Chain A
Amino acid sequence: MDKHTPQIIHIPDKPRVPPSQQPTVNVYASIIEPKHANTLVRRLNQIAPLENLRHVRRIRRRHLQVQGGSPELSVILCLACENETQFNSMPPDVQEIVNSYNLCPFITKVSKYAALSKEEWDEQCKLWPTSYHPLTYNIDGITGFSEEDTKSVFSFMKSAVELAKSGDGLVVNAAVIVDPSAGLIIASACDEVCSWHMPTNKVKTETCCFKQLETFTSHADANRIVRDITMLSNGSSNNLQQCYTAISCLNPWQWAQHAFHRSHCYWHPLRHAAIVAVEASAARDRHLFPGSGYNEKLYEVDCTHSSSSISTTKRQKIVNLANVNNGGEHDAHIEGSHSLARPYLCTGYDIYLVWEPCTMCAMGLVHQRIRRIFYAFPNPEAGALGSVHRLQGEKSLNHHYAVFRVVLPEEVIGRTKLKL
């Protein structure tokens, strides 16, 4: 890696392991006669479904050269214990199949988790065939960024970094919510844990929203970021320890020890940058689309059509309020139209954070349906996107964002890490 070139690294749903060292589980399998394949698979799926191994194919087909064309079929019978050597732990139903079809069970390994990359998939299939469906295949960037997108990512990260050092000598976390399709900053905010200028601040966040993406040149921009971060890590160097404890997501539990707050301000231990930025984007939404027309009208539509399905669509199919009112359920697809389109929460939006968010913020961003998170520095003690927790990999959640670390040039990162 060119240490002078900034990089964007995808932080996957699970910690990366070398493709050849993926975890496996043991299963019982047996060679079967091709004519029995359908019956056996149907029966086995009933009595021994592979619940947590949906990526594993039940049948393996191998072409053996000696047999002159006719493939050898093997089927997974059921899970086996990890240190099993005897065939005594098969469920009775499976044992019955083994007996009635004269099968010869053997223990083999299959990959425990679905493949995240082509390389992992290739390795998995050496053990036993699996299917490969990247979980977030539809989120831009997982498979790499174009030069133009990379420039855009750095430009927005630069905005976040500038915000982070805009406080009175304190370094704080900063968040910038962006609509990438329009290159538009939707909302931006800093930590407001130490000083929350309530309630006038709300006015400020409502009006600071509209800012076109600046034009820039990539080299000048990268250099600016280098300089900014250097200042970030060197700035207020006398008091760096105190300085860094102001970054809310790094030290969420230490709010009560913060000495630096001004008595005329309110403070709030939970007003982390990401939470404040979400609040600002919601305020923008209410400001641009006043009244609660969205809720009520959609609700009316639902009622009058006595339909249980819900007329809100993902941002890719932007809801056109007029169309919904007139026509009800159809996908009001108005891309390219001039009508004002209202997104559902932050669906389709990205957020840029200087530091990896804590658990509270990371879950808030799940709730608000952020599409991609970019952060510059990891948060080893409290980060929830790979450091301590990994919310992007929590399957039960109803929304999953893609997470990227924007690695700024190496020499700068090294210095900052030392200071941290």
Chain B
Amino acid sequence: MGGGNAHFALVPVQGLLGQGWSSDNLAYMELAIQQAKLALESLEVPVGCVFIKDGKVIASGRNRTNETRNATRHAEMEAIDILLEKWQRDGLSKSDVAETFSKCILYVTCEPCIMCAAALSILGIKEVYYGCANEKFGGCGSILSLHSSALSHLSEVPQRKGFKCTGGLLASEAVSLFRSFYEQGNPNAPKPHRPLVQKEVE
């Protein structure tokens, strides 16, 4: 998710709407949506997330791009920082941390952007559930597919790690938060070159 320009096309993932979500799936995404609502209340682009390990919420995060004036401070990055700090205070080694990330599941209200998808691959996360697709910046299928593992085109050096990724979980809730946000106007976005047109595909 970008912290700035409001030119999003937010699309619930149609093919997955009929999928049977487990009550756990729904409960965790509900927590991510609560985080997104906190972001909205702080005049931030409303994206929220939670990290789950062994069925427990171990960290949550929400977008803070406006507050920090740092457009890379997406919800995922906020939660990742919390985890890294906590695990190191607990004395975990690098390999412990890598091992722990490989057991984590992320629930995020919007498809991770290219930056966050790359970060999740670097950390070696196990699985991601997201709400609506991110057709402008999405790194899990919309623009790039950084969640699918790929062998290097040049050498046998182990390249990026893939992770399982499923979209469409509570997508319409995520989209309606974006709508509330863009109706009130992103206070920090540059003046659009063209009039804003919300593309709504439902």
Contact B122 A252 (CB under 8 A): yes
Looking at the assembled complex, report how far the CB atom of A387 sits from the nearest CB atom of chain B, in whole angstroms.
9
Chain A residues with CB below 8 A from B187, complex form? 295-296, 298-299, 302, 310
15 contacts between A and B (CB under 8 A): A198-B85, A253-B161, A266-B84, A267-B94, A295-B43, A295-B66, A295-B188, A314-B191, A359-B115, A363-B118, A364-B71, A366-B115, A367-B2, A389-B144, A397-B136
Chain B residues with CB below 8 A from A275, complex form? 72
Inter-chain CA distance A257–B93, complex, in Å, is 11
Contact A369 B98 (CB under 8 A): no
Contact B43 A266 (CB under 8 A): no
Contact B191 A311 (CB under 8 A): yes
Inter-chain CA distance A321–B27, complex, in Å, is 44
User: Contacting chain A: which of B13-21, B31-39, B152-160, B164-172?
Assistant: B152-160
Looking at the assembled complex, report how far the CB atom of B194 sits from the nearest CB atom of chain A, in whole angstroms.
11
> CB of B7 within 8 A of chain A?
yes
Chain A residues with CB below 8 A from B122, complex form? 252-253, 255, 269-270, 360
Inter-chain CA distance A65–B1, complex, in Å, is 58
Contact A310 B191 (CB under 8 A): yes
Identify which of B84, B146, B190 contacts A359 (C-beta below 8 A): B146
Inter-chain CA distance A391–B3, complex, in Å, is 18
> CB of A54 within 8 A of chain B?
no
Chain B residues with CB below 8 A from A314, complex form? 190-191
Inter-chain CA distance A218–B114, complex, in Å, is 39
> CB of A182 within 8 A of chain B?
no
> CB of A56 within 8 A of chain B?
no
Taking A311-B191, A345-B4, A363-B114 as contacts, is the C-beta distance between A270 and B77 under 8 angstroms?
A: yes
Taking A255-B94, A269-B122, A359-B146 as contacts, is the C-beta distance between A367 and B190 under 8 angstroms?
A: no
Chain B residues with a Cβ under 8 A of chain A: 2-7, 43, 65-72, 77, 80-81, 84-85, 88, 94-95, 97-98, 113-115, 118-119, 121-124, 135-137, 139, 143-144, 146, 152-155, 157-161, 185-192, 196
Looking at the assembled complex, report how far the CB atom of B146 sits from the nearest CB atom of chain A, in whole angstroms.
7
**Looking across the interface, which residue of chain A has its beta carbon closest to that of B3?**
A367
Looking at the assembled complex, report how far the CB atom of A96 sits from the nearest CB atom of chain B, in whole angstroms.
31
User: Contacting chain B: which of A7-15, A116-124, A159-167, A279-287?
Assistant: A279-287
List 9 A-B pairs, minimum CB-CB distance, nearest first: A282-B70, A363-B115, A360-B118, A256-B98, A367-B71, A299-B187, A359-B118, A363-B114, A398-B5
Contact A253 B144 (CB under 8 A): no
**Looking across the interface, which residue of chain A has its beta carbon closest to that of B186?**
A310
Chain B residues with CB below 8 A from A310, complex form? 6, 185-187, 189-192
Size of chain A's interface in residues, with CB distance under 8 A?
56
> CB of A62 within 8 A of chain B?
no
> CB of A368 within 8 A of chain B?
yes
> CB of A22 within 8 A of chain B?
no
> CB of A152 within 8 A of chain B?
no
Inter-chain CA distance A394–B142, complex, in Å, is 12
Inter-chain CA distance A270–B144, complex, in Å, is 19
Contact with B along A356-382 (1 / 0, CB 8 A): 001110011011110000000000111
**Looking across the interface, which residue of chain A has its beta carbon closest to that of B152?**
A381
Inter-chain CA distance A314–B136, complex, in Å, is 20
Chain B residues with CB below 8 A from A253, complex form? 121-122, 124, 158-161
Taking A381-B152, A399-B5 as contacts, is the C-beta distance between A269 and B123 under 8 angstroms?
A: yes
Chain A residues with CB below 8 A from B81, complex form? 268
Contact A359 B157 (CB under 8 A): no
Chain A residues with CB below 8 A from B155, complex form? 381
Contact A344 B72 (CB under 8 A): no
Chain A residues with CB below 8 A from B124, complex form? 253, 256
Contact B159 A309 (CB under 8 A): no
Identify which of B72, B186, B190 contacts A364 (C-beta below 8 A): B72
